[in-house]
Amino acid sequence: MSSAVKRNILLTPGPVTTTESVKWSQVVPDICPREAEFGEIMEHISTELTRLVADPDHYQTILFAGSGTAAVESMISSVPGNQAIIIVNNGAYGKRMCEIAEVYGIDYLEFRSPFDGGINMDALERFILSSDRLISHLAVVHHETTTGLLNKVKEIGALCKKYHIDMMVDAMSSFGAIPVQMKEMNIHFLASSSNKNLQGMPGVSFVIAEKSKLDNLKDRKPRSYYLNLYAQYQYFAEHAQMRFTPPVQILYALRQAIRELKQEGMAKRYERYMASWKTLISGLKRLGLTNLVPEEHHSKIITSIHEPYAGFDFQSMHDFFYSKGIMIYPGKLEELKTFRIANIGDITAKDIEFFLELLEDYLRGT
Ligand SMILES: *Cc1c(COP(=O)(O)O)cnc(C)c1O
């Protein structure tokens, strides 16, 4: 391995701080991605990703070049037929799925739910029952990165099962840490990306789906050319290649990131994240800061913190931290007056302690 790369601490919800070994795994001999050797690498990556949440005999990972939204857009534009879909909106990413459905002219019903508390399951059931349209699918975000709210996908999956509705889940910021079992949770399609809990580089996103559901899409008229989920699935099955140029080096990094996830273990990774979160929360308390989402609905991965005082200037605090090699994130919902701290990536509670010391200094100085 070559000399060390400067280590920044990203307290952002992705891309995240990566290991030295993931960074260097991108430095490889040039290769034409249409060579069989590279096809094998992609097949390996796909199978390993599937294995994290489902049985690869019955489920398939479909890789795309693109950020996470590409996978979500592929799923939302490719899967629904002519019946209506329900989209649960309790944060910016639920809203984004509605916006995608809007662009493609998909018949969707928006189920709104508070962004800082659990989904009312009775209300959701009434919503399903009160619709005069046939509903084929329901789309929901597993972990709303907007706020740190963790949606109870297992309960929603059970409800969907009862009404024969297939479920699509944006698991972008839960995948790789928070346990998901697609079959048990009745999830038929799931989207995620390389650069959050997987701790890889940004540029690859993917949809994991039940093969029989993918096969059912065969005769569907495509709404998108590049993001056509069935075409991408079918082409890979036949050629072991992506339809279009894959991000070669990002995939090498992802392969290494998956190795490291397996070494650490998914449960242990989540434990490490939760240990950082506990340190964060107790530090915030000590400093008199409060956060938005109550613990019972919290992912323990990203925390929305109320601005410490009126007239708080996020940009100035951001610049202070940036100069120390720490990157922090603004709130995503303007009206909330929060900023966000994520505790994913190759960081530990020690890094969070360092952040808290600096935060204390900063708040004292202002
Ligand atoms: C990060 C994220 C996305 C995708 O964002 P990109 O910027 O396209 O990578 C989608 N949904 C959720 C819940 C996310 O956290």
**Residue nearest atom 12 in ligand 1 by C-alpha distance:** 172
- Please indicate whether residue 173, judged by its CB atom, sits closer than 6 Å to ligand 1: yes
C-beta of residue 360 within 8 angstroms of C-beta of residue 287: yes
Reported as a single tens digit per residue, the pLDDT across 280-297 is: 999 999 999 999 999 999
User: The tokens of 179 are what?
Assistant: 């346990």
The ligand 1 atom at the shortest distance from the C-alpha of residue 145 is: 15
* Site to substitute for ligand 1 among 16, 87, 93, 205, most atoms within 8 A of C-beta: 93
365 C-alpha vs ligand 1 centroid, how far in Å? 34
Atom of ligand 1 nearest to the CA of 142: 13
CB of 192 closer than 6 angstroms to any ligand 1 atom: no
* Mean pLDDT per 10-residue segment, the chain (366 residues): 84 96 97 97 98 98 98 98 97 97 98 95 97 96 96 98 98 98 98 98 98 97 97 98 98 98 98 98 96 94 94 94 95 84 98 98 89
Please write the tens of the pLDDT for every residue from 218-233: 999 999 999 999 999 9
Give φ, ψ of 103 to 5 degrees.
Answer: -60, -40
| Cβ proximity of 321 and 307 under 8 Å | no
234: Cα separation from own chain's centroid? 24
Global model pTM greater than 0.95 = yes
Find the Cα–Cα–Cα–Cα dihedral 101, 83, 130, 140, rounded to 10°.
-40
Strands (E), the chain: 9-10, 59-65, 84-89, 108-112, 135-141, 143-144, 149-150, 166-170, 189-193, 204-210, 302-306, 326-327, 329-330, 338-342
Rounded to a whole number of angstroms, the distance between the first and last alpha carbons of the chain is: 43
Instruction: Compute the distance from residue 69 Cα to the ligand 1 centre, in Å.
Output: 6
